[in-house]
Chains A and B, each alone.
Chain A
């Protein structure tokens, strides 16, 4: 992105502790991160390192314990459509059709600003963006896992979020479907220039999609271990990248971080 870097999303010394009775667990500590407008950031770490918690904090679904979160200079402490989330397990409402699932979001967010016809066009436009118009009248139970996740992305995009949060959105999908959806996300990012934050545990996914990769240390009390810039020009093509020296180097750096310096120890607590 050629835009002048601004402090768009500012995560300032955030920590999160969960209290269960007398047992206090510090999940995250001293997270500092500034994300520019239009930037694509991947957050990677071993499972249990609190990366989903970090995303929930940004989404406002969980309250921060200490520190502050600012979006365009304004403090964030509750969930809202300007920080739309694509959930890990799609979270579509099974009793609504694909169209109605997106409509739920659109009619809530744009009830005062768009007419009925404009809202319909906007719903269709977002379904078109993820190539799901053909299934508009189907229920989530009638479409494949990859399609559901596409609809989840369309629903999130339809809120016109300032920041799109993706919580391991492709974790449950097979490799081929995942590759298709990664391409779709890259395409959307190129077209709309959204600010995106994606949680992942897939090294290739992180390198392929991100401008910056945020690597988390192991929990408890996880924090940001390293941040890696991925200076590969866009548009990126997964086949050409496979042997691209920058790609190989970035991939190696993330792998080294995850498997040498911060090896995951099972049941470390």
Chain B
């Protein structure tokens, strides 16, 4: 493959040491093209191959006359419209999957946004004190394991409405890893930074913004990343029960009207959106906490 070729070409070890040969400038663009080609070969090709193989196995496995699930070709034949046009609007309940994902994302934005702010603040307070940590941590560790849907009945009882209930379920699902990770990050702030803050007499707010947030950023963002993943898990499940126009309710609706191929398309949408959310938070984290580790 081209990777191997790349490694073999620059091998001028036998030249006399004093001879410096300047590289032609034009070679740069060629190198760039070669590099991006190598990247495609090494990073994009393998998942595509695996995907193709899996689709082929799926096609063969469910080609029989009495197969329970549709094959990929059948999914394409019956539901390709959902894939090709995500943003159609035919009526208040008949809208493209793109709109449905956006509706669900809006709920996630509210719930997760609240959880992020509250979680980081609570984590900061709890992480600052060993006593608070000892008091709160076991409780968080227990609450953390409660599945998102188990909160839903309580939430419905408290809010009497499905919309805030769904948001609350996301909030309560996402907040625990954010609190726990932030607290761990705050506890891990080196004593040296605390000493610097003490000598400078930074007050609580200055300490929070100038020392705590940057220093704990890697921890905070790994909490946020887990939290956003859980939020997305929770919203799909919650919408199945609360209704509305979200992607979760779409699946439930499709199941009730036996549109299995639509469900499969919706699953792909959910998976891709979850992946993008995860990468987005991860990317923001790596930008924000650049330089923190060194």
Contact = CB atoms under 8 A, between A and B. Distances in A.
Asked if chains A and B come from one complex, the reply is yes
Interface stretch (A33-41, A82-90, A237-245): A82-90
Contact of B195 (A81, A91, A140): A91
A91 B192 CA distance: 6
A80 B201 contact: yes
Nearest to B217: A95
A79 interface: yes
Contacts, number: 60
A95 B292 contact: yes
A91 B193 contact: yes
Interface size class of B (residues with CB under 8 A): 20 to 34
Nearest to B210: A104
Given A89-B192, A104-B210, A108-B206, A94 B294 contact: yes
B292 A108 contact: no
A79 B201 contact: yes
Interface string B254-294: 00000000000000000000000000000000000111111
Nearest to B290: A95
Nearest to B198: A79
A142 B200 CA distance: 24
A104 B210 CA distance: 9
Nearest to A89: B192
Contacts of A109: 200
A80 B195 CA distance: 10
Interface residues of A, number: 24
A89 B291 CA distance: 17
B198 A61 contact: yes
Interface in B147-201: 190, 192-193, 195-196, 198-201
Question: What secondary structure prevails in chain A residues at the interface with B?
Answer: loop
Given A81-B201, A108-B202, A108-B206, A95 B291 contact: yes
Interface string A83-111: 11101010101110000000011001100
B75 interface: no
Given A104-B210, A140-B294, A141-B294, A93 B199 contact: no
Given A94-B293, A104-B210, A80 B199 contact: yes
B211 interface: yes
B86 interface: no
A159 to B, nearest CB: 8
B220 to A, nearest CB: 13
Contacts of B293: 94
B214 interface: yes
A201 interface: no
A46 B200 CA distance: 30
A20 to B, nearest CB: 14
A120 interface: no
Interface in A150-204: 159
B197 to A, nearest CB: 9
Contacts of A81: 199-201
A59 interface: yes
Given A79-B199, A108-B200, A141 B192 contact: no
Interface in A22-65: 59-61
A139 B196 contact: no
Contacts of B192: 87, 89, 91
Given A61-B195, A141-B291, A141-B294, A93 B211 contact: yes
A139 B199 contact: no
A89 B210 CA distance: 20
Contacts of B290: 95
Interface in A126-140: 139-140
B200 A104 contact: yes
A169 to B, nearest CB: 13
A237 to B, nearest CB: 33
A108 B205 CA distance: 13
B202 to A, nearest CB: 7
Nearest to A141: B294
Contacts of B202: 108
Given A59-B199, A93-B211, 16 more contacts: A60-B198, A61-B195, A81-B199, A81-B200, A83-B199, A87-B196, A94-B294, A95-B214, A95-B289, A95-B290, A95-B291, A108-B200, A139-B291, A140-B294, A142-B294, A159-B200
22 contacts: A79-B199, A81-B200, A83-B199, A85-B199, A91-B190, A91-B193, A93-B210, A93-B214, A94-B293, A94-B294, A95-B214, A95-B289, A95-B291, A108-B200, A108-B202, A139-B291, A139-B294, A140-B294, A141-B294, A142-B294, A159-B199, A159-B200
Interface of B: 190, 192-193, 195-196, 198-202, 206, 210-211, 214-215, 217, 289-294
Interface of A: 59-61, 79-81, 83-85, 87, 89, 91, 93-95, 104-105, 108-109, 139-142, 159
Please provide the 9 A-B residue pairs with the shortest distance between their CB atoms, ordered closest to farther. A141-B294, A91-B192, A79-B198, A95-B214, A95-B291, A108-B200, A95-B292, A79-B199, A94-B294
